[in-house]
Amino acid sequence: MTSSVFAAEHLLFTPSVSTSNAVPVIFAFPNEYTIGITSLGYQVIWAMLAQRSDLAVGRLFTDMSQDLPANPELMGFSVSWELDYINILNLLEEQQIPIRSCDRTENHPLIFGGGPVLTANPEPFADFFDIILLGDGEDLIPTFIDTYQTVRTANRVEQLKTLAQVPGIYIPSLYQPIYSDATGPIQAVEPASGVPQVVKKQTYRGNVLLASTVVTEKAAWENIFMVEVVRSCPEMCRFCLASYLTLPFRTASLDESLIPAIERGLTVTKRLGLLGASVTQHPGFEELLDYINQPTYNDVRLSIASVRTNTVNEKLAKTLVNHGTKSITIAVESGSERVRQTINKKLETADIETAVINAKTGGLSNVKLYGMAGIPGETETDLEATATMMQQLKKAAKGIKLTLGCSTFVPKAHTPFQWYGVNKKAEKRLKFLQKNLRSQGIDFRPESYNWSVIQTLISRGDRRISNLLELTRHYGNSLGSYRRAFKELKGQLPPLDYYVYDDWPLDQPLPWDHLEGPLPKSTLVKHLETAETYMDAPRLQVVH
């Protein structure tokens, strides 16, 4: 079964033949193969490693593996979802590797990790990793491997000290958190002697962005070839990790990146996915649509990740319909103009209505909108405005199916809203929207409120959370399990409310202050202050 899965892969690169003294590496995705192989980041980093003759790379997923070396020197994880930490710990144990870095010896591989979860805030997972790569892999991976080769025969301590000098490589064991007391906030993170005080996320600035390195019918998105059209987002919504963490906004060159990649991919499949936080804001997007609309590609099925609302025109809708897509997804966040101003969503209700009408006129049958409940400063009146807007859209574009997917606000590191906690009324607000929309025939799909609480705990967590994660892993994946673990560890870390619901003072040190994102903290504070000018009752203060 496993061999047939790997045999179904169409590789769009040529793996190198490993030399006799190649470094044995396991590169893992902490989930099932069908999910992992659909991750563009995992695909690309695997291809980068597999094209080096000085490495012998095996792949590992939770349900299968390929060519695992017997005595790996390096084992890496690409981490896309917070709760996959459970699978990371399970996979380490399966390979008979201690789950905590402090328990590993010279006989164990160095465990490294990267991806959006670890780049945002690695602290809850820091004790499980020897090495964390902060930022874009294009430059980081080659530098990491090249540096490792120079210290391959050194002892573990020397290896880690040398790697810590490389920009973007974070060695958690060389940074010690100091807390005001066991249950209080963090005071500082002290670096060991001779390592940088601050580790800076690495940003790739080229105009050739990512494209699939493998296409397979066994992927969750069957036989899809993915190409990254843009990276980051110029809108900078105040809560948005996808924008703030990945700045600056970069676009793939049409001639050097996008079109050559698409031509390469369409030799092995007829399904194309355009990826990016705001694909339609590529300056050459119209030209890209014209290219895809050539008769040669009439049989290509096209998917687009997410589009900016005021770029939805008839041409885009018709292109999607002609290429087998019946729906489009737009993020509106709220029906309230004031809330959209608060979060810097440069969008008027009229723009949203125009987008839905254009989608219908162009032949699409479904428009999915993304909203959010519990945004800082949001009132019940704002929720009513969302319900009213959805009803207006239904009247404006009769016959089209409207779906509102709605999540709860989750504060994320390196964004202006990182100091805000989750609104305790958010769950009731989701229920309010459900009651008011479903009765009007609008499909309302709320994300789990409990999941947002767990996500916040991890996104704002410090290293004390690692003990909690270890416990919860054995209790089951539910909010009740986390509450049980907090009770068991009472006195050893702050309560759940501190991490999830409390607003943090602006001058309180943050668990990730020693890890530098694209924008300085002072700029995030200015963006926060701008947001608060639109709120009825701003809440954050400086506590000296």
Domains of the chain: 2-200 (3.40.50.280), 223-532 (3.80.30.20)
pLDDT in tens, 346-359: 999 999 999 999 99
Residue 284 CA to residue 290 CA, distance in Å, equals 10
**What average pLDDT does the structure give for the chain?**
95
Residue 136 CA to residue 205 CA, distance in Å, equals 9
Is the separation of the CB atoms in 163 and 151 below 8 Å? yes
> Does 544 have pLDDT greater than 60?
no
The pLDDT value given to residue 541: 57
DSSP letter for 255, please.
I
The pLDDT value given to residue 124: 97
pLDDT in tens, 493-519: 999 999 999 999 999 999 999 999 999
Going by C-beta distance under 8 Å and a sequence separation of 6 or more, which residues neighbour residue 517?
201, 244, 245, 413, 414
Residue 411 CA to residue 421 CA, distance in Å, equals 7
The pLDDT value given to residue 6: 96
Residue 487 CA to residue 496 CA, distance in Å, equals 10
Residue 329 CA to residue 308 CA, distance in Å, equals 9
3-class secondary-structure state, position 410: coil
Residue 148 CA to residue 267 CA, distance in Å, equals 37
pLDDT in tens, 108-144: 999 999 999 999 999 999 999 999 999 999 999 999 9
The partner residues of 78 in beta bridges, in order of sequence, read 114
Q: How confident is the model at residue 252 (pLDDT cuts 50, 70, 90)?
A: very high
Residue 402 CA to residue 512 CA, distance in Å, equals 40
Q: How confident is the model at residue 543 (pLDDT cuts 50, 70, 90)?
A: very low
Residue 363 CA to residue 325 CA, distance in Å, equals 10
Q: How confident is the model at residue 421 (pLDDT cuts 50, 70, 90)?
A: very high
pTM (global) more than 0.75: yes
Nearest CA-CA partner of 246 in 272, 228, 224: 228
Q: Which string of DSSP letters, residue by residue, matches 369-401?
A: EEEEES-TT--HHHHHHHHHHHHHHHHHTTTSE
Is the separation of the CB atoms in 340 and 389 below 8 Å? no
DSSP letter for 493, please.
B
pLDDT in tens, 31-87: 999 999 999 999 999 999 999 999 999 999 999 999 999 999 999 999 999 989 999
Residue 170 CA to residue 132 CA, distance in Å, equals 5
The percentage of residues in the chain with a pLDDT greater than 90, rounded to a whole number, is: 94
